[in-house]
């Protein structure tokens, strides 16, 4: 005699099941539309810029010639000075921001406690929220005369000014990310190391910082990315004149500032207009690689 098959009564679709499915669809829709927007922007920038690259661009001139003269009778589109401007300002910004931000992240996460810690965190977040035009203003009205007085140079709007301003601007964000990286190191490690008799500084230096090094590196890289794409403050503090900088006291012009300043005055679809989009592509690619590197570092299984 074959046994009677069991009748299943528990496999019912209840409200929680339907809700789960509905939320899943909704989240998918939200996510996919974000991706569509990004891809749309990407296509738009590339469509405009690519036309220039194919029809008019002379690679050697673009990367090798410092003369950016889009409006002259014989226009030249040399981006070298602009690239050098952005690179020098960003480089100085990183040099300024890294010690400040890693230092304050260490202080906030490892040495301060209770109210001081809370207060500092809020302060850093407030600093991160200062609009870039305010930083530009500080560059113009405070740093400019300061540099002229201190170094006895004719003009204070230069690589030094923009680099420091940009560094100060990027520091709060770097600090926040670096502090998150330090906070992610489990307290057990600190306890275990202190139980060994390590001093606070030894624990920080020998255990916490190595354990957080990936997070710290990506904090620095994201700061670099931030500096690279910044426009307004650099436009105001750098002097905005086309120069291959040879000293920190040279005025320079940045890629971003060039686009911001010139795009409004060009005819849509003109050669100049498209050349500016090519600068945009360059920015896009570099920022993309910086973020990608940060991402790879964070995910990387690079432990020994």
Partner 1 sequence: MVESNEKSDKTPKLSIKDLSIFYGKEKVLSNVSFDIFENEIFGIIGPANSGKTSFLRILNRMDTFVPEMRFEGEVVFDGKNIMEWRNLYALRRSIGVVFPLPVGLPMSIYENVALSPRLRGIRSKGELDSIVERCLRRAALWDEVKDRLNVLGSLLSGGQQQRLTIARALSQEPKMLLLDEFSIAVDPVTTMKIEDALKDLRNEMTIILVTNLVQQARRLANRTAFFLMGEFIEEGNTEDFFTGNVQDPRTRQYVQGRFG
Could you give the CA distance from residue 256 to residue 278 in angstroms, rounded to a whole number? 12
Spell out, one character per residue from 146 to 185, where the chain touches partner 1: x when CB under 8 A holds, - when not: ----------------------------------------
Sole binder of partner 1 in the list 31, 64, 210, 300 (CB under 8 A) = 210
Q: Which is nearer to partner 1, 58 or 118 (CB)?
A: 118
Q: What's the alpha-carbon Rg for the chain, to the nearest Å?
A: 26
Of the candidate residues 141, 202, 246, 270, the single one contacting partner 1 (CB under 8 A): 202
- Kindly state the smallest distance separating residue 188's Cβ from partner 1, in Å: 5
Q: Which is nearer to partner 1, 190 or 243 (CB)?
A: 190
Q: How far is the CB of 181 from partner 1 (least distance, A)?
A: 13
Closer by beta carbon to partner 1, 194 or else 262: 194
| Cα-Cα-Cα-Cα dihedral sign, residues 223, 228, 229, 235 | positive
d(CA 178, CA 214) in angstroms, rounded, equals: 10
**Interface with partner 1 (CB under 8 A), residue from 211, 263, 281, 298:** 211
Stretch 245-284: interaction string toward partner 1, x if CB under 8 A: ----------------------------------------
Please say whether the dihedral angle defined by the alpha carbons of residues 137, 139, 144 and 145, taken in this order, is positive or negative: positive
Q: Do 133 and 231 meet the contact criterion of CB atoms below 8 Å apart?
A: no
Q: Which candidate, 44, 71, 237, places its Cα nearest to that of 157?
A: 237
**Applying CB under 8 A, does 207 fall inside the site for partner 1?**
yes
Stated length of the chain = 304
| Other Cβ atoms within 10 Å of 303 Cβ, number | 5
CB of 303 to partner 1, least distance (A): 6
Q: Is 303 in the site for partner 1 (CB under 8 A)?
A: yes
State the Cα–Cα distance between residues 199 and 205, nearest whole angstrom. Answer: 10
Nearest C-alpha neighbor of 242 from the set 76, 105, 8: 76
Residue list 179-198, contact with partner 1 (CB under 8 A): 187-189, 191-198
User: What kind and span of H or E run contains 175?
Assistant: helix 159-183
Q: Which C-beta is closer to partner 1: that of 202 or that of 270?
A: 202
Least separation in angstroms between CB 135 and partner 1 = 38
Task: Say if CB 206 and CB 110 are below 8 A apart.
Answer: no
Out of 56, 112, 117, 206, name the contact with partner 1 by CB under 8 A. 206
Please tell me the distance from the alpha carbon of residue 24 to that of residue 154, in angstroms, as a whole number.
62
Binding mask 90-129 for partner 1 (x = CB under 8 A): -----------------------xx---------------
CA of residue 128 relative to chain centroid, distance: 13
Which of 116, 141, 199, 247 binds partner 1 (CB under 8 A)? It is 199
Pairing of strands 76-77, 68-69: antiparallel
Give the interface with partner 1 as residue ranges (CB under 8 A).
Answer: 113-114, 187-189, 191-199, 202, 206-207, 210-211, 303-304
């Amino acid at each position: 005699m074959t046994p009677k098959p069991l009748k299943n009564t528990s496999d019912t679709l209840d409200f929680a099941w339907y809700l789960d499915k509905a939320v899943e669809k909704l989240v998918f829709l939200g996510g996919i539309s974000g991706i569509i927007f990004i891809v749309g922007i990407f296509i738009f920038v590339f469509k405009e810029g690519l036309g220039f690259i194919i029809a008019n661009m002379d690679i050697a001139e673009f990367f090798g010639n410092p003369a950016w003269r889009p409006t002259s009778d014989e226009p030249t589109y040399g981006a070298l000075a602009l690239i050098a401007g952005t690179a020098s300002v960003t480089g100085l910004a990183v040099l300024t921001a890294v010690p400040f931000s890693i230092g304050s992240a260490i202080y906030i996460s490892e040495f301060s406690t209770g109210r001081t810690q809370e207060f500092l965190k809020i302060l850093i977040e407030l600093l991160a929220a200062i609009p870039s035009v305010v930083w530009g203003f500080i560059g113009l009205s405070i740093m400019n005369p300061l540099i002229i007085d201190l170094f006895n140079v004719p003009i204070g709007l230069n690589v030094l000014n923009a680099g420091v301003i940009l560094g100060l601007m990027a520091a709060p964000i770097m600090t926040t990310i670096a502090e998150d990286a330090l906070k992610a190191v489990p307290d057990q490690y600190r306890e275990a190391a202190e139980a060994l008799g390590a001093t606070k500084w030894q624990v920080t230096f020998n255990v916490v910082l190595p354990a957080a090094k990936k997070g710290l590196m990506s904090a620095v890289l994201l700061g670099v990315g931030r500096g690279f794409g910044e426009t307004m403050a650099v436009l105001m503090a750098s002097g905005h004149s086309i120069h291959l900088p040879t000293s920190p006291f040279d005025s320079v012009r940045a890629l971003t500032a060039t686009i911001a300043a010139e795009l409004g005055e060009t005819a849509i679809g003109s050669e100049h207009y498209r050349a500016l989009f090519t600068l945009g592509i360059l920015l896009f690619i570099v920022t993309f690689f910086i973020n990608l590197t940060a991402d790879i570092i964070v995910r990387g299984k690079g432990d020994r």
